[in-house]
Amino acid sequence: MVSSFVMRLLGVGGVPPGENPRAYVWEKRLHGVMIALALIAVVAFYLTELSHDRTLSSIGHALDWLIFVGFSADLLWMLALCEHKQRYLLHNWLDVLIVLCSGLALAGAQTSWVAVGRLLRLAMVALLLTRAARPLRTLLTPGGLAYVAALALVVFLAAGGVFYWLEPTVHSYADGVWLAFVTGATIGYGDIVPTSWAARVFAVLLTLVGLTIFSLVTASIAVFFVGEEEKTLRRQMHHDVQHLKQDMARLFTEEEAMLRRELHADVRRLREELERLRKEIEHKRSV
């Protein structure tokens, strides 16, 4: 209950309860597509805002349009499937904000509001990353710690390569990985710092991703220990239930034996009483 409330508060609540069954089916079908669009937003931002090559900028602009059209189509299609459209919008206000930010950024791309357009693109990338982080909650299982660790390893290794490419003060891939780790972990030793505009923007995004990953690591460790305690409790409960079954079976057996003895005694007394009455009747007849 708390988890669903938090997801609605973050604007990624999904299809509300009691909706059209087709809406749930399509939500699962489009889930992977929307995550892919969210990750493409990072590439589109760098190609559009930070690349000096006209061809790459054009590709980034095309990706921006793809993201805008994709999220708009997803939002409109889900609204068409849902019966309570206002409630769906309230549960998924993040999608609405993504569409608005991307649309405004595209509209301002050819105007003099360059700073506003860049801010909107940064906001859109942050929102899309938040949208992409939604399925990570499924990793919070007792066996999910290994997957979270693997995810962290892949992210920081990839981020190290990006820093090695973007940051001029990073002279080796190992230094890039080190900068990625201290950035994602929000340690900030200061031995290597991002100096270029592209590296600084990437550092901001990596900090957001790093906070999510390390939060998942901490939560997964907690879930692991809670899961072990739950297993121990289940084994103890199973042991207690078995003992309870044995005690109940023993009690039923003893109770059944006692009832049988009492029944035999009652039958015997009844027979004796009937025999006595029979003798009295025969004695009266003889007299």
Q: 228 in a domain, yes or no?
A: no
Element housing 119 (H / E): helix 114-132
Q: 124 in a domain, yes or no?
A: yes
Domain span at residue 16 reads: 1-132
- Using the structure block, give the residue that is written with the tokens 């609605």: 8
Of the pLDDT bands very low, low, confident and very high (cuts 50, 70, 90), residue 173 is very high
Q: 195 in a domain, yes or no?
A: no
Q: 77 in a domain, yes or no?
A: yes
Amino acid letter for position 226 = V
Q: Comparing 68 with 123, which gets the higher pLDDT?
A: 68
pLDDT digits (tens, 9 = 90+) for 72-120: 998 899 999 998 888 888 888 878 887 887 777 777 655 444 455 555 5
Q: What is d(CA 61, CA 7) in angstroms, rounded to the nearest whole number?
A: 31
DSSP 155: H
Q: 168 in a domain, yes or no?
A: no
Q: 237 in a domain, yes or no?
A: no
Q: Comparing 204 with 86, which gets the higher pLDDT?
A: 86
Q: Give the number of other Cβ atoms within 10 Å of residue 218's Cβ.
A: 11
Q: What is the pLDDT of residue 181?
A: 92
pLDDT at 8 over 60: yes
Q: 222 in a domain, yes or no?
A: no
pTM over 0.75: no
pLDDT digits (tens, 9 = 90+) for 18-71: 888 999 899 888 877 877 777 777 777 777 766 677 887 888 888 888 888 888
Q: Give the number of other Cβ atoms within 10 Å of residue 128's Cβ.
A: 26
User: Among residues 115, 89, 110, 112, which one has the least CA distance to residue 100?
Assistant: 89
Q: 10 in a domain, yes or no?
A: yes
Task: Give how many domains the chain has, as a whole number.
Answer: 1
Contacts of 117 (CB under 8 A, 6+ apart): 105, 108, 109, 111
Q: What is the pLDDT of residue 108?
A: 64
pLDDT digits (tens, 9 = 90+) for 147-156: 777 878 888 8
pLDDT at 178 over 90: yes
- Using the structure block, give the residue that is written with the tokens 């749930």: 24
pLDDT at 233 over 90: no
Q: Comparing 106 with 227, which gets the higher pLDDT?
A: 106
